[in-house]
Structure formats: C-alpha cells, structure tokens
Amino acid sequence: MTEIRIKAHDGGEFAAYLATPPGGAGPGIVLIQEIFGVNQVMRDLADGFAKQGYVVVCPDIFWRQQPGIQLTDKTEQEWGRAFELYKGFNEAKGVEDLVATLAHLRGLKGCSGKVGSVGYCLGGKLAYEMATHSDAEANIGYYGVGIEGALGEAAKIKRPLMLHIASEDQFCPKDAQQKIRDALGKLPLATLHTYDKCDHAFARAGGQHYDASAAKLANDRTAQFFKQHLG
C-alpha cells in the first residue's frame, strides 16, 4: 500500500512496506521476508494480513547489503543472487532491525500495541529469533532455515511460538526437524505443525512446491493463532 522509513538502532534507516486494514486500525504484524526481498509475494502477503484486520509492516532486511532488492523464484540468476544475499546476511543485525521495526509498528497510528511476527524461509528462522530476542506477543515461522542451530536460545521463549515444518524440506533435513521437535516439542509456549509430503515453500503461491491444501491448513492455523494472541 505504501512505503515507510524506519530508523535502525545503530544509525541509518531502511524501507518497509506498510499495509493497513480496511478499518484503519488493529493489532500489528511484522512480516519477515524470504531470501527474495520485499517482492510481490511479500507485498501480497502483507495485503492479505491487512484484510484480516492487521496493521502490517514488512521491512527490507537486506538493506545493509543492497536496499530495495526484489527478486523472484523463477530464474537461476535470481536464485543465485538470493543465495548471495542470504550468505552475506548479518543475522544479529537483522534481528536488531526487526526489533526496531516492532517498536516502530507499535508506535504507528492505528496499531493497538499488540504486535506479532510471521516469517517465511529465512524469515521463518528470524521469527523464531523474534521469539527469543523480542517481546512480540506471538511469533510464527514457516519452514524456517537454520532453527536447529539456534535451539540453545529456546529457554528465552516467553511468548507463544508456532512453527510450520515441511516434512520433505530440502533446506531443513529430517535430522534437523527432529532436533527442533526434541528441543521445542515439550515447551508449553511452542506449537509445532508438520506437513507430510511437503517441500520447502509449500505456502508460496505460484512457487514450484506450492501445495494448496497444506498452505490453506497452515494459513488457517496462523489466522487462528494471531486471533487468539493478538486480538
């Protein structure tokens, strides 16, 4: 709907896509991008959450490398660039930028003050990091990449977390999935859902591994989770 600017904690500022609900007010959602930047897929997701009644901000977390990246998953060249950005991404700074986004969103006119986060792919890992490093009211990760390497932080989870796991995720193999289940499965604040026979990005509309039924199930669970914890 529109672009806003957010100040980073260590100086400088970055862009973010803002989508507002039809009524103009509601709880907030920090939407965390995949490795393709704040592209049309992310803007469509933001608009979709806004239609559900949320004030949504999707920040450009690659701004420290190259501001304004918008890639697709349709060409080998774009995949190559996306992986370059992913490998060069400073995760700690990225989390700082997301925390700054969270604070900015809470201060926006129309935001109720209750804010959650939801992320996909890289953003799925960062949504887990928001659960361990921020005071967001609820956090949801779709097929996060690398969560198994950050499970030592699980004790810091103080707010509800939901993870959508693809059983055949090429970027999160079976042993990694088991580590996640072993570490988080018994935590009262963590809810884990596994989608059988689904690959990475099964909820990316138009993507190679899109699974309409699994995506609907995951998205319905997400909607209910946010309604419960942000409403």
Please enumerate in sequence order all residues whose Cβ is within 8 A of that of 173, keeping only pairs 6 or more positions apart, or say none. Answer: none
Q: If you write DSSP's letter for every residue of 90-125 in order, what string do you get?
A: -HHHHHHHHHHHHHHHHTSTTEEEEEEEEEETHHHH
CA 37: distance to chain centroid? 12
Of 200, 209, 211, 229, catalytic: 200
Active-site residue 175, yes or no? Answer: no
Per the DSSP assignment, residues forming a β-bridge with 4 are: 16
Outline where 7-145 has alpha helix (H). 40-51, 76-88, 91-106, 122-133
Per the DSSP assignment, residues forming a β-bridge with 16 are: 4, 59
Q: Which two tokens stand for residue 18?
A: 């803002």
Q: What amino acid occupies position 165?
A: I
Residue 96 and residue 134: Cα distance in Å, rounded?
9
How far separated are the first and last CA of the chain, in Å rounded? Answer: 23
Nearest Cα neighbor of 192 from 225, 227, 155, 152 is 225
State the pairing for strand pair 13-19/55-59: antiparallel
Active-site residue 200, yes or no? Answer: yes
CA 166: distance to chain centroid? 15
Of 60, 73, 169, 199, catalytic: 169
Q: Which residues are catalytic?
A: 169, 200
